[in-house]
Structure 1
């Protein structure tokens, strides 16, 4: 009899121990989630408070929401979230908390469900959920269209332009102009005096003198000797066109070779210089447009013909009009 009681007592002790171990084994963190309000207006901020009570050896993790929105309802936006904070410690038990600041911009009744938390314990990976489901009602202000008339948006009002708005800019502009006018006058007077002096010291030379000087400079450059026949003939014809334009008042730079020869005949030009001009222009056209490569003697003849053409057609003293008498130049102030 005593033996039987001993067996029953041992069985009860074992059962109690197993029950305690089973209870200790299945005990997990407790998740609590609550909203700071049941209903809010569109755009108002409200808070989601999450508290977790767990063993200090257990590891939990808060979820990460995509695009700053709660996964349970895409219309609820996360405006801000706090760091995880420890609220209370009792022995092995620890209570941590985290706060989310939320907002909604569409009217509706949003059922957000239960809040999820990741749970890690040795080889166990699981998701824990809050006890209660969350719900928030987002409302708008009621508008009585019977008593209140909805009007269109008013256009911007036209404000009059006041002098004070641009008076400062106008004043500074006038001061800047007043400071620049004397400087401009001084620079203009210096430029005019230098230009007038240069014109008095170096009167315009006759066109044949200019042409001869340019031909001699071209001859010294030795262009055709270095294979630049096209440039050589282009410069000769340009010099002669400018000379003919000044000598006979013909717009030679704008005319073709044939047009220049026709115009030269109308001036009573002698046959010999006319033949020289024709040979030079036609040879230059062959070089420039037909890729003709003249011989060395032909290149020298082009320069010689151009030189004597100018000499044979230059103005004589009887043909040249008398130069007007130079006007007296006023002396600058301070000089006597």
Structure 2
């Protein structure tokens, strides 16, 4: 083999390989974008007419999100086709991102695009040109006036009533129509006569005329022959009629079907193609429909006695089902009206009293019930304490005081509502001592804390301050929080307490309120109780 022949063979092989290969051209309209901006990626390849090309489809190309994948554009170039595929990409974080190599399948063989670099930058804010402002204060949004909720309630109720009236009138109309027209043919002929008396096409309303004319025919076919004529196209209706004629053994001629089809197609042209038939054509179509309906009715075989009996049974069953359906519809309407009314009333009270208050009322919050109950103002113990409370305090025996304390007390009385374990409790304690002596209120306070600890209180935090009643009687006020462990359930809750201590001559007076921490209603009760405290000043 000579050198020249060898080079020719190599050239032909290289050419064949080159023509058998495909290249993917990759372009991007910008290599630098702002956060959230779109960059367009374009892939282009040239193939023959028989080649199958599949471009990549994904939600993300690398770290870049695919906003939109556009349809492939095809450009014919002689015997080859140029296919162009575009993608809209973006990224919502600044940085440098790589569009990776993407796989394109050409005749099920993979080819890869070039990788590209895209830089995503932040939006710069020039504080020298753009003034900086303080954060605006919170703006209070006023609730809509209470009256508007009454209007909404009234509209909802009227809407429900209107819907009920609509259903009732519709039902009556259907019932009345059923009573007037005993048979489908009677209904159809009556409606045709009524249509002609309107003289619609004579006054230029051709489209309305044909619409009503064909509806009468379709309604008759649907009721008498029992096929879905109203929702069928003209072609579907003719096919269904042929099938029904065979099934029901109707003596139906081809001429009758062709006559009906001609009128229906004419109506389709009038309604959808704005066709305008001349007067004699309209009159002919009207006559054709009348004859077709009469012919169809005559072609329907008369039912046997057994079929008539079955029809009666079917009608009774239908009426029974209709009655049940009406009953369920009435119940649904009543439920709907009730829900609308309850929702409107709920919305009104939420707007006027607030959601929390309404929720607590519905859930019968015990603290709220106490706050809104009939309060009682009573006098307790010696030296007496006058205090207003939501419930009458009951006398209880105090058996947990130390023996040495009992030895010094002449007379002691304790009245309470609830206990330390409850979510709310009130205690009034009074004592008169046998001997005169200095009563130390701080020591008495410490004694109370120790008693609470014995009953299950833990982590008691105490704050105290001097206290003076409006009558000028001086005392000590202590308040704080503690954890109360229930020995039976082994569950604990956080409680807040306030305690007032007073001493008069040989007497001690103490008022204590304890409630669950964070209970706003209980806070209001506590303030009201402590503000109501009165003493009869003991003369020295």
TM norm. shorter chain > 0.5 = no
TM-score range, shorter chain: 0.3 to 0.5
> Which of the pair is proportionally richer in strand?
2
Larger Rg: 1
Report the TM-score, using the length of structure 1 for normalisation.
0.38
Report the TM-score, using the length of structure 2 for normalisation.
0.26
Indicate the structure whose relative CO is greater, using CA pairs within 8 Å and at least 6 residues apart: 1
